[in-house]
Amino acid sequence: MFDIRDVYIQTLIEIANHNPLVVVMDADVSKSTRSRKFALKHPDRFFNVGVAEMNLVGMAAGLAAEGKIPFISSFCVFIILRACEPVRTMISYPNLNVKLVGGYAGLTAGQHGPTHHSLRDISVARSLPNFVILSLSDYVSTEKAVKAAAEWMGPVYLRLGYNKQKAVYPEDMDFHIGKAYMLKNGYDLTILSTGLIINEVLKAVEELENDNISVRVIDYPTIKPLDEELILQAAKETGAILTVEDHSVLGGFGGGVAELLAQNTPVPMELVGVGDIFAESAPYEDLLVSYGPAACNIIKATRRLLKRK
């Protein structure tokens, strides 16, 4: 098991060893984001701007305009929400080659509380033109995604969790931006998921299959652009779709799926995630149970959905 933050920064160090255009910037949380490890290897290409996320974005935009490839790090809630306006105006609008890397995705901030829970970042990032959104489920996909983001010309938002996780994918995973991955085939319904919450999905599916419910599981490391073909195929073949995300159900990953299905292949659907509420301070596992995307709640939603099929 590996912390994907460590995998992220180690991969970035290796990329920077061969690409002098890569620079890393941080908003005074480099211990948590792990970017201080990059500073030790490439001190002349690391910039800590202090607790000033809007300045961080502006400086990164300037560096990108001059041909650099800035990877800028903070917590998800700060790099997307606090710095939203300059991200829109200085990165999204001019389509600059800046990579935003957010930690503590969803409820993984746990006892840090509602100011640090990042439950609306996907909603905001989805609405920004030119942005790619990557939400990674394990350390294997994280390594591949960082490499892909460095090669992608244009703004990218990488949404990283906090907890150590076991691998979901094999080491030789063939990662491509815009591609989803079927982890398990099934015929009664399809569960679509994104990010570290895939582990709760897999726990739920194991129990459901003990009751002879056949579940197709598809992981979406890319939220934007969405792999639409796989969603539409699953809707036609299984007849019901359930989305799971560690994020608000308003305007997030599930919302994007619902928009697609409503216009193409309407089928019974449920969205599992956090409702229109601020979550309290508590251990991560307890928050998942209380606010939605835990295995026990996924199982309940699956059973409700099958009754409507």
| Contact in structure between 70 and 23 (CB atoms under 8 Å) | yes
- Number of other CB atoms surrounding residue 179 within 10 Å: 14
Signed CA dihedral, 41, 43, 45, 50: sign only: positive
Write phi, then psi, for 159 (nearest 5 degrees). -105, 110
d(CA 86, CA 38): 25
Task: Give the whole-angstrom CA distance, residue 298 versus residue 245.
Answer: 10
Whole-angstrom distance, CA of residue 155 vs CA of residue 284: 30
For 60, 93, 238, 308, the CA distances from 213, given in Å and listed in that order, are 49, 46, 12, 15
Q: What is the DSSP letter of 116?
A: T
Maximum C-alpha span of the chain: 60
Please, what is the angle between helix 284-291 and helix 295-308, to 10°?
A: 20
Q: For residue 97, give both structure tokens.
A: 């080659």
Catalytic residues: 53
Nearest to 21 by CA among 146, 136, 134, 151: 151
Residue of 123, 149, 156 whose CA lies nearest to 271: 123
Would you tell me how many other CB atoms lie within 10 Å of the CB of residue 243? 27
In angstroms, the first-to-last Cα distance of the chain is 38
Cis peptide, bond prior to residue 266, ω within 30 of zero: no
